[in-house]
Amino acid sequence: MRPLLTTVNRGLRHPRVWGIAVVWMCCLAYVLFQGGKTSLMLLSMVTLLCLYLAIAGFSGVKRAQGVRRLSSGQDHEEMLHAGDQVRVKLNLTIPGFLPLPYVVVREMLHRHNGESWSFKESLIPSMRGTGELSFQTPPLERGKYVFSDTECASEDIFGLIEHRGTFKASGEFRVLPRTVFIPYWQLYDRKSRLSGPQTALTRSRRETTQINGVRDYVYGDRLSRIHWNATAKTGNWKSKEFEHESVPKTILVLDALAGSYPHGEAFELAVSTTASLLDYGSRERMGMGLLTLADKSSFMPPSESLIERQKMMHHLVDIQDNGKDATLLPGVEKLARQFPQGAYFVVISPQKDEKILELLRWADTRGMTPCHILIDSTESRQSKEWNAMLRGRGTRSFSVAHLQELPTVMGGGSV
The C-alpha atoms of residue 270 and residue 276 are separated, in whole angstroms, by 10
Cα separation, 206 vs 220, in Å, equals 17
- The CATH number that applies at residue 272 is 3.40.50.410
Residue 396 lies in a domain: yes
Query: What is the Cα–Cα distance from 255 to 399, expressed in whole angstroms?
Result: 15
Distance between CA atoms of residues 383 and 409, nearest Å: 14
Task: Please give the tally of structural domains in the chain.
Answer: 3
In a domain, 53, yes or no: no
Residue 9, in any domain of the structure: no
User: Do 327 and 379 fall into the same domain?
Assistant: yes
267 in a structural domain: yes
Q: Looking at the structure, do residues 265 and 233 belong to the same domain, yes or no? A: no
Q: Do 166 and 306 fall into the same domain?
A: no
- Is there a single domain that holds both residue 196 and residue 65? no
Q: Is residue 120 part of a domain?
A: yes
- Considering the domain boundaries, does residue 266 fall inside one? yes
Q: What is the CATH number of the domain that holds 74?
A: 2.60.40.10
Please report whether residue 192 resides in a domain: yes
Full pLDDT tens readout for the chain, 415 residues = 444 445 445 544 556 666 777 777 887 787 777 777 787 888 788 787 777 667 666 666 777 888 999 887 654 456 788 888 899 999 988 887 667 778 889 999 999 888 889 998 888 888 788 888 888 889 998 989 999 999 988 876 666 677 788 888 888 899 999 999 988 887 765 444 444 433 433 334 556 566 667 888 877 778 888 888 888 888 888 888 765 555 678 999 998 888 888 787 889 999 999 999 999 988 888 889 999 988 888 899 988 888 898 999 999 998 888 777 666 777 788 888 888 888 899 999 998 888 889 999 999 998 899 999 999 877 677 888 888 898 888 888 888 989 999 998 887 655 4
Same domain assignment for residues 133 and 214: no
Same domain for 217 and 137 = no
Q: Are residues 190 and 335 in the same domain?
A: yes
- Residue 105 CA to chain centroid, in angstroms? 24
What residues make up the domain containing 222? 210-244
Would you say residue 83 lies in a domain? yes
Co-location of 229 and 337 in the same domain: no
Q: Are residues 94 and 150 in the same domain?
A: yes
**pLDDT of res. 97:** 66
- Alpha-carbon distance of 6 to 239, in angstroms, equals 69
* Residues 291 and 396 reside in one and the same domain: yes
> Domain check: are 278 and 336 in the same one?
yes
Clarify whether residues 373 and 255 are in a common domain: yes
The pTM (predicted TM-score) of the whole model is 0.71
